Amino acid sequence: MNKISSINAQRLNRRLEELARIGARSDGGVCRLAFSDADLKGRNYVASALGDLGLEVRIDAVGNLFGILKGQSVRKAIMCGSHTDTVATGGRYDGALGVLAALECIERMVEEGFSPAQSIVLASFVNEEGVRFMPDMMGSLYHSGSLTLEDVLGATDKDGVSIGSELNRLSYSGQDTLNDLDITAFVELHIEQGPVLEDAHIPIGVVSGVQGLSWQEVTVSGKSNHAGTTPMDRRLDAGVVANQLIHEIHALPLAMDGLRLTIGSVTYHPSLINVIPNKVTFTIDLRHPNPTQLEQAERLVQGILQAPQPCTVTSKPLARVDPCSFAPNVVEAAQKAAKSAGYPFTTMISGAGHDAQILQSCYPSGMIFIPSKGGVSHDVSEYSSPDDIAAGANVLLGALLELSEGSHL
Ligand code: GLV
Ligand code: MN
Ligand code: MN
């Protein structure tokens, strides 16, 4: 495929297994929630591999990790990577693949004594998942200047613990920046997390863009009282109202093509069998590839929430990312790399959110997908085959060479 022969698939798959042992769940999945002890151990695993390769390792003020392989032009650089945090019920590949495949590509260059025309920067961004601390893609939002240091350090989890205090506890953050580098492109390899590639029996997806995302939390406030004594017509039951709202909101995708809608978390207070709930909070995750349609979906949700109710209903935004289109030169580099390595590919958009869609605002960016078994992700059963992993990493290597050298060697 080029002067650097393909990646070492065995080593990459071994590293995926090793990283999966950090934060391993007893059901075969992985839990490395952002800024937890397991997350730190996972990040240290990557940092120590970068150090072993003789790369310069940098950590910024929020914990984003970078490893730099200096090229012939030290200043100009191509960035590649992803994240190693997971959802609480996560699998072994979401994020981990992009970071460890980037490491593998760099290791192959080091082994061959190859000095790329541009430096290659591995990036592992913090808190991509956004399940413990919101918003998601937080590390890349900070890196791209869309969140300030204060925004990040002040974010709290449901127990009121802040990222600032977790970073202190873990002694993890540094002061490094990449201000001395001129990043000319970012490429992220990731599992598809959906069924498109597997259904079509195609090993590679070249990603042309990512659908938009809108997250909010709704609070319904009522009044607690005794379950046995309070007549049904004298209740202010937050549970009843919340369930009616959820039912109406769940019907929206039937009326809007392409809308993905998830109510993934519902919390009752005080959540006791014989007490009428005085408060219910629930989350809404809306996704659509078309910005106008996404806004329309948000308006429809607001219309439902603002209709007169016996209980008070309020909502607060948690995260919002517009749909993005990736840079044509990065998309073409990935297509060219797949073609010259002989892998069938299709060009597609991403249903899941990714750091690459944030970085597209500051660097020309793009992504490469490989199939997810059964289209399953954000679940402990997430699986991608070693062959597909090797194919994806080879395409990443080809794309990095294409972008750095201007053409395949
Ligand atoms: C990120 O994992 C997302 O929720 O799309
Ligand atoms: Mn991911
Ligand atoms: Mn994820």
Mean pLDDT of the chain: 97
- Give the closest residue (by CA) to ligand 1 atom 2: 129
Residue 72 backbone dihedrals phi, psi, to 5 degrees: -65, -40
Domain coordinates of the chain in residue numbers?
9-210+323-405, 212-321
| Ligand 3 centroid, distance to 139 Cα (angstroms) | 14
pLDDT grade for 5, boundaries at 50, 70 and 90: confident
CA of 43 to the centre of ligand 1 (A): 19
Q: Which residue lies with its CA nearest to atom 3 of ligand 1?
A: 353
Instruction: Render pLDDT for 193-211 as a digit per residue (tens, 0 to 9).
Output: 999 999 999 999 999 999 9
Point out the ligand 1 atom lying closest to the alpha carbon of residue 213.
5
pLDDT at 1: 42
Top CATH class of 212-321 equals: alpha beta
Task: Please name which ligand lies nearest the alpha carbon of 32.
Answer: 3
| % residues pLDDT > 90 (the chain) | 97
- Check: CATH 3.40.630.10 for 9-210+323-405? yes
- For ligand 1, the distance from its centroid to the CA atom of residue 2, given in whole angstroms, is 34
Which ligand has the minimum distance to the alpha carbon of residue 87? 3
Flag whether pLDDT at 408 surpasses 60.
no
Residues with a CB atom less than 6 Å from ligand 1: 129, 136, 352-353
Between CA 276 and CA 310 the distance in angstroms is 14
Closest atom, ligand 1, to C-alpha of 136: 1
pLDDT of residue 371: 98
- State the average pLDDT over residues 175-184: 97
Q: How far is the centre of ligand 1, averaged over its atoms, from the C-alpha of 349 (Å)?
A: 14
Ligand 1 centroid–CA 165 distance in Å is: 25
Mutate to test the pocket of ligand 1, among 83, 94, 136 (most ligand atoms within 8 A of CB): 136
Residues with a beta carbon under 5 angstroms from ion ligand 3: 94
